[in-house]
Amino acid sequence: MASNENSDQAARMDAMQEANENWDRQAAINAEDEERLNGVFCRLFTYFRYRFFQMLSGEEYELQLH
């Protein structure tokens, strides 16, 4: 009976460890995706801001993306 409880507890611990690893892996993927999307949105915002001021002034501005 005790060995059954120990094996059940070991199985639960393994499952919890695997779930934590999966959670950490997904969190890292989400962080990379968020960083990539932030870069895209920043570039789009910069471009449209550039186009807006160009339209307002009628002058040509040099677009600087960092």
The residue behind tokens 């094996």 is 7
The pLDDT tens digits along the chain (66 residues) read: 567 788 889 999 999 999 999 999 999 999 999 999 999 999 999 999 988 888 888 776 666 665
Q: In 10 A of CB 60, how many CB atoms?
A: 7
C-alpha pair distances (Å), 9 with each of 3, 6, 12, 18: 10, 5, 5, 14
| pLDDT the model gives residue 12 | 92
| pLDDT for the residue numbered 45 | 93
Helix, coil or strand: residue 32: helix
Amino acid, res. 13: M
- Ramachandran sector of residue 58 (left: φ over 0; alpha: ψ -120 to 50; beta: rest): left
Res 65: pLDDT: 63
